Amino acid sequence: MKIFKILAVSAMALGMTSCISKKQYDALSSNYKQCIENVGERQREIQDLKSQNSALTSENNLLKSQHDALKSSLDACLSNTGKSSANIDKLVGEINASNSYIKQLISSNAKNDSLNLALSNKLKRSLDNVADDDVQVKVLKGVVMISLSDKMLYKTGDYNVLPAAQEVLGKVAKVINDYDKYSVLIEGNTDNAPLNSPNLPKDNWDLSALRGTAVAKVLQTQFGVDPARITAGGRSEYNPKATNMSVSGRAENRRTEIIIMPKLDEFMKLMDITPKK
């Protein structure tokens, strides 16, 4: 609310430029622009938090449903005098084990969600001066996705990373190196415009794969990202984000995505805490 009050006051001040000095006007104008930028950043953070909350709510409802089902089974056993006390004790033990697992699962997921949100916010701050059309960062289903436009990274139909892209990739690499327990997946994507060349890249499969590996090599050789953490490849034209019927849609489809996610062994550890039957 305070932000909007500041915006309102700034807007009124800008409308009264005839009553103030140019120095005061410039100061108010700068303050107004800064407030606009702050509002945009807060709105992005709010949207990220809403997505996290929605995912946690769905998971919590599922866990509650499982708990209710187990409780109903216990009630049924207690009402049936023909059941032996040994079976009831076994069921109680299973319920207690399930409750313990549920608590561990919620704790683990909450920790991962917090790490992912912190990682996402750090990336957004690092890339704040880069145009939104060139770099997009978001959290989706527990992973952090960075989408880079092809015009920032490569020449048309080429896979060699442009020198101008080094700054952005350097900022991304710094955050990747800070979160060294995460894996990095790099995917090249293209539109559906065909390539017909006797040399590499011969087609969109080649182009997308070569672009993915080119970015991986830059992260490794220029910025010290451990190659053991990186998986690189291409998805050609078969994973479009938008229609290929428009210029803007094709541009959006010609992207390279860097996906940062927990390593596979972290998921396996989580699976190991499942109650034994």
Q: Which residue has the higher pLDDT, 211 or 22?
A: 211
Least confident of 39-53, 84-98, 238-252: 84-98
Residue 204 pLDDT greater than 90, yes or no: yes
Residue 3 pLDDT class (50, 70, 90 cuts): low
pLDDT band at 197 (very low <50, low <70, confident <90, very high): confident
Quick check: 160 pLDDT over 60?
yes
Q: Give the pLDDT of residue 101.
A: 57
pLDDT bucket at 100, cuts 50 / 70 / 90? low
Average pLDDT over the chain reads: 78
How much is the average pLDDT of 254-265?
84
pTM: 0.57
Q: Which residue is it, tokens 């599922």?
A: 62
Determine the pLDDT at residue 271.
Answer: 46
Residue 267 has a pLDDT of 47
What band does 213 get if pLDDT is binned at 50, 70 and 90? Answer: very high
Q: Which residues contact 270 (CB under 8 A, 6 or more apart)?
A: 105, 108
Please check whether residue 168 is in contact with residue 175, taking contact to mean a CB–CB distance below 8 angstroms.
Answer: no
- Rounded mean pLDDT of 90-117? 61
Q: Which residues of 32-42 are buried (b: 16+ CB within 10 A; e: fewer)?
A: beebeeeeeee
**Buried-exposed string 100-127: b where 16+ CB fall within 10 A, e elsewhere:** eebeeeeebbeebbebbbebbbbbbebb
* Lowest model confidence (mean pLDDT) among 1-10, 219-228, 243-252: 1-10
pLDDT at residue 275 in the model: 44
Using the predicted structure, report yes or no on whether residue 231 has a pLDDT greater than 90: yes
Q: Are 158 and 208 in contact (CB under 8 A)?
A: no
Confidence of residue 1 (pLDDT cuts 50, 70, 90): low
Mean pLDDT throughout 226-233?
Answer: 96
Q: What is the pLDDT of residue 92?
A: 64
7, pLDDT greater than 90: no
How far is Cα 237 from Cα 246, in angstroms, rounded to an integer?
Answer: 15
Rounded to an integer, what distance in angstroms lies between the CA atom of residue 277 and that of residue 274? 9
Q: What is the pLDDT of residue 104?
A: 58
pLDDT category at 143 given cuts 50, 70, 90 is confident
Residue 86 pLDDT exceeds 60? yes
Residue 45's nearest CA partner among 141, 148, 146, 122 is 122
Q: Which of 240, 222, 241, 102 is nearest to 170 (CA)?
A: 222
Q: Specify whether the CB–CB gap between 169 and 224 falls below 8 A.
A: no
